[in-house]
A and B are shown apart, each in its own frame.
Chain A
Amino acid sequence: MKFFLSLATLFLVGRDFLNGQGISLNSNRERNFVFEVKQIDEFFERFNNEKNTLFSEYVAKKYPGITIDRHSLVRSLFNRENQGMDSADRKTFIAQVTDSSNPVFLDFSSNQWYAAIDCRFKHLGKFTDVALVLKIQQESNGGMKWVIVSAFTPQLRPESNTKVPAPRPNPSHFLNPMSQATDFMDLADAFDEGLHTRDYLDSSFYRRPFSIAFLRSLSRQDWEFQYVRRISYHFFQVQGWEFTVSYFQRNSANSGWLISSLKKVTPEEKESLREKLFQKSL
């Protein structure tokens, strides 16, 4: 049976319309679960149009007349409710990354994307937020882990690194490369009494005055990790662009981890944005 619907239509139309086309949906909840970009890993899968995914197999089974094309997939990864985003920029970006002669794909193992995590701590009896930035680091055995690149809280003044211990060689504690799927809940271990915190730090952490201030303050054991409040991901992998991916919880096919902002940038602007990210001013 053929349905004359495009993939884009699937993301745009509602359940009633689909039912009207004779497409039997198991439930709206099921459809939204499949269509939602549930994990940032799924964002990579769709951006790169990977095969044999939950989404591609579901569409193949439920909507056999529809072919998944990368252009539609990438377009579906934008937050549709953000009408403030420049549509011309969005079109240019999609055209660039899906250009068949020179396509651009995202690389999970790249160090050109970051997780920006707002963590709730208790500091001297008061709840305080600390902004952490993490990136993926590849190891000599081919494995990967998340490392903390920077920490920022306006509660502390920036400090120099003259008295900070050197990075710990051969660290035994780490955030595994799927920590993002459980909202980095293992960060609780990283800050547990500050015993192993240095195992989780990237070498660049020690070059950032705000990060050093936080590390020194941690050593006084007056910070108590509570939980992760918010996560967003910042991608610097596409030449000429920086974009942010945020989580949108709603009862819609256009939900989950979606592009919340897109900036056209020069190389200099990209570096400036990266530094601002480390100081929580992006």
Chain B
Amino acid sequence: MKHEPVYRLLLLGAALLVLGICPVVAQDIIYAQGSTKDGKVTEITSDKVIFNTTGKKAKAMFLPRGKVSAAFNSTGHFLVFTNLPGDTSQEHMLINDFLNNSALPSQDKLITLQSQVIDGKIDKEDKKEISYTTASGTKGQVKKATLAVIIYRNGSHKMLESEKKVIGPLAAAQSLNLNALVAGSNQAKNTADSTAAATAAAAAAQKADEDAKAAAQKAKADAAQVSPAPTVDSSSMANQHISELGDVSFAEYEQKALDKTQDLKKYLALLTDKRVDWVEANKAIDQAVDLFVSEEAIVETSSINNQTVTRFKIRDYLKRIKLIQYDKVEIEWANVHYVSKLRKGPDGNYYGTITFEQTFRGYIENKLVYGDVTRKNVEVILKTYNRNVEGKSVPTWDVFLSQIKVVTTKSA
């Protein structure tokens, strides 16, 4: 199909943006260098934005993609061309959503000049202010002077500032949209993975019902997470010393903390090995729990894909891991980790954190049944105590693992 360039037509639309304020519109509209063009966008290639004009003499035309800053469709979906992600799959995800998602938004969207995005229902709008209620029931007001764009539930939108000022906040909103799309995609994939996993698990161990298996399997995957960071060159703040302990340096604390996480990894590996009998596995659980400051230590797991948060005491968490075993487990580490400073608490103990990432894959009968990438934040506590050495009380210290926050960032 042959398309005609439309530079000259852009001039006709330029007047709409001269004042930097647009009327409410409920059709596809393309914003290009201070001008606008109405039409139905049909295709977006690497260098063109192709659209059908409206009216009696409708025809296919195109704009060079480099000239287009943003576009809104008639159902309130938008694209900020100048800020599309470098990742091709993510870019396609946004473009496909723009071209094909015909669902109207469930809420009004208020995007501020400070790039805050407020989703809710507009209760009242006047010349100066908007009152709204969020999905959680929170009521709020926002001055229109602070807003960049309003996207209404009926698919129309209103730009309250010039294209130049609006693009940044709109790009921030686009990032949120992308996160939601990625989350939705991952959730769908996880659902598929979970189904496959449950089936495979049922075949491998007929005693447990499928639901329990799936839950335990997820718990196990989250746990292998807890495993240790790599032994590489990322010592941080090596000059921090703990005055009460004389020569204890940050490096010593760091090494001991990493040793503990390494030990935990070994025990988790035992629990995931189907060749290990339950007596031995229970012993591994006891030894793993000993690495922690107390039985009250909590593992909290969540995902950026949804709002589900689960909390287990460490022993319960390890028991769940024991329930399902893979034929083969692959654990990959990013070979860097972040170790925070130590900070003294009111109880005189010192608190720190180790952050690292892990990719986990579990196989049954050579089939990948579960995989994820997780970010682990492991709280560590350096406790000081006195030890009796030849009748003398000698101050000493040890490091214990404490709370663990696990965030699943994506499927592996």
Contacts and interface: CB of A to CB of B under 8 A. Distances in A.
A162 to B, nearest CB: 27
Interface in B203-239: 233-239
B347 interface: yes
A181 B138 contact: no
Contacts, number: 172
B175 to A, nearest CB: 6
B346 A181 contact: no
A139 B144 CA distance: 44
A153 B138 CA distance: 8
Contacts of B165: 84
A257 interface: no
B270 interface: no
B115 A261 contact: yes
B343 A177 contact: yes
B351 to A, nearest CB: 4
B233 A57 contact: yes
Interface in A127-177: 127-129, 139, 141-145, 153-155, 174, 176-177
Interface string B245-266: 0000000000000000000000
Interface residues of B, number: 63
B175 A181 contact: no
Given A29-B357, A250-B175, A144 B344 contact: yes
Contacts of B309: 226-227
Given A33-B357, A185-B405, A261-B114, A58 B336 contact: yes
B338 interface: yes
Contact of A229 (B114, B115, B171, B307): B307
Interface in A21-39: 26-27, 29-30, 33-34, 38-39
B405 A143 contact: no
B137 A155 contact: yes
Interface stretch (A47-55, A98-106, A216-224): A47-55
B236 A54 contact: yes
Interface in B136-189: 136-140, 148, 165-169, 171-172, 175, 179
B352 interface: yes
A214 to B, nearest CB: 14
A128 B137 contact: yes
B355 A39 contact: yes
A154 B137 contact: yes
B339 interface: yes
Given A39-B355, A84-B169, A144-B344, A58 B234 contact: yes
A57 B235 contact: yes
Contacts of B175: 81, 248, 250
B345 interface: yes
A186 interface: yes
B136 A129 contact: yes
Interface in A247-273: 248-251, 260-261
B168 A178 contact: no
Contacts of B87: 251
Contacts of B171: 81-83
Contact of B234 (A54, A129, A153, A182): A54
A176 B336 CA distance: 26
B200 to A, nearest CB: 28
A38 B87 CA distance: 21
B302 interface: yes
A177 B344 contact: yes
A127 B136 contact: yes
A171 B166 CA distance: 49
Given A39-B353, A82-B172, A139 B346 contact: yes
A155 B172 CA distance: 30
A64 interface: no
A240 interface: no
A139 B348 CA distance: 10
Contacts of A81: 83, 115, 168, 171-172, 175
A42 interface: yes
A260 B179 CA distance: 17
A29 B334 CA distance: 7
Contacts of B337: 54
Contacts of A41: 340-341, 353
B298 interface: yes
B122 interface: no
Looking at B166, B235, B337, B355, the one whose CB has the most chain A CB atoms below 10 A away is: B355
Contact of A57 (B172, B236, B377): B236
A82 B175 CA distance: 10
B403 A185 contact: yes
A41 B309 CA distance: 24
Nearest to A27: B334
Contacts of B136: 127-129
Contacts of B377: 39, 181-183
Contact of A30 (B85, B140, B335): B335
B183 to A, nearest CB: 10
Nearest to A186: B403
Given A45-B237, A50-B237, A84-B113, 12 more contacts: A41-B340, A42-B340, A54-B336, A82-B168, A84-B115, A141-B348, A143-B345, A143-B348, A153-B138, A178-B353, A182-B403, A227-B307
